[in-house]
Amino acid sequence: MTTVRPNTTWKTTWNKTLYDYEKVINDINNGTHNKVIVQSKGKRNMKFCPIIGDFVYVSCNKLKIMKCVVISEFSVNMTQLEDPYNKGENRTHTENNICLTMRVIEVYNQAEPLKGNQSTWVKM
């Protein structure tokens, strides 16, 4: 028998010095972004991970900038993903390139305070 858990709400944190979150928001608002975000797992060992249908609030610069829904679970990407929003050179987020995808469902243009965490993923 398969156990089904209710959807969980998560927070993931972006580093404003490494990622151009303002350009992501502008591109989404202008319709030049497809609203699909590839998000790394980070380096932390996780007992529970986000699953398809979970909600994710993205925090950056101590602000809640968007709400997303998970559309694919974590998997290993064999090649490093190009991301035009990286500041500087493309970088790996984890040694093993574990990422999931999420779809932006809301952008907060009047962002509320929402402090980030040292860990990339935290349950809310």
- For residue 83, the model assigns a pLDDT of 78
In this structure, how many other beta carbons lie within 10 angstroms of the beta carbon of residue 60? Answer: 22
- Distance between CA atoms of residues 49 and 119, nearest Å: 13
Q: Which of 51-65, 75-89, 107-121 has the lowest mean pLDDT?
A: 75-89
Place of tokens 């975000």: 37
Question: Which tens digits make up the pLDDT trace of 31-67?
Answer: 999 999 988 888 778 888 999 999 999 999 999 999 9
- For residue 81, the model assigns a pLDDT of 66
Q: Which two tokens stand for residue 3?
A: 């156990």
- Distance between CA atoms of residues 97 and 38, nearest Å: 11
